[in-house]
Amino acid sequence: MISYARLFETMKRKGVTQYVLIYKLGVSPGQITRLKRNESVSTHTIEMFCRILGCKVEDVMEYIPDTGSESVSDER
């Protein structure tokens, strides 16, 4: 699962509110909703947030393995 919790932590740390994103920077409220729900978003959206916040991808998102799911390394 991809988690966007880091995005909201980064926003808080940098003092950027959802209001600023939507009404001053033109970010779609739908994009913010998708991120809150940890739904898929495009790499363009991730890039936009990195540019706006002046941060790295890992400050926006992280991969959290699902418990019980297999990976390629588990098949060895």
Per-residue pLDDT of the chain (76 residues; tens, 9 = 90+): 999 999 999 999 999 999 999 999 999 999 999 999 999 999 999 999 999 999 999 999 999 998 876 666 655 5
CA-wise closest residue to 37 among 14, 68, 5, 75? 5
The answer to whether 7 touches 49, Cβ cutoff 8 Å, is yes
Count of domains for the chain: 1
Question: For the whole model, what pTM was predicted?
Answer: 0.83
Residue 73 inside a domain? The answer is: no
Residue 9 inside a domain? The answer is: yes
- What tokens appear for 59 in the block? 């400050």
pLDDT at 66: 85
DSSP 8-state secondary structure symbol assigned to residue 63: E
- What tokens appear for 27 in the block? 């970010």
The answer to whether 3 touches 38, Cβ cutoff 8 Å, is yes
Residue 69 inside a domain? The answer is: no
pLDDT at 69: 66
Residue 72 inside a domain? The answer is: no
- CB atoms under 10 Å from CB of 21, counted, come to 20
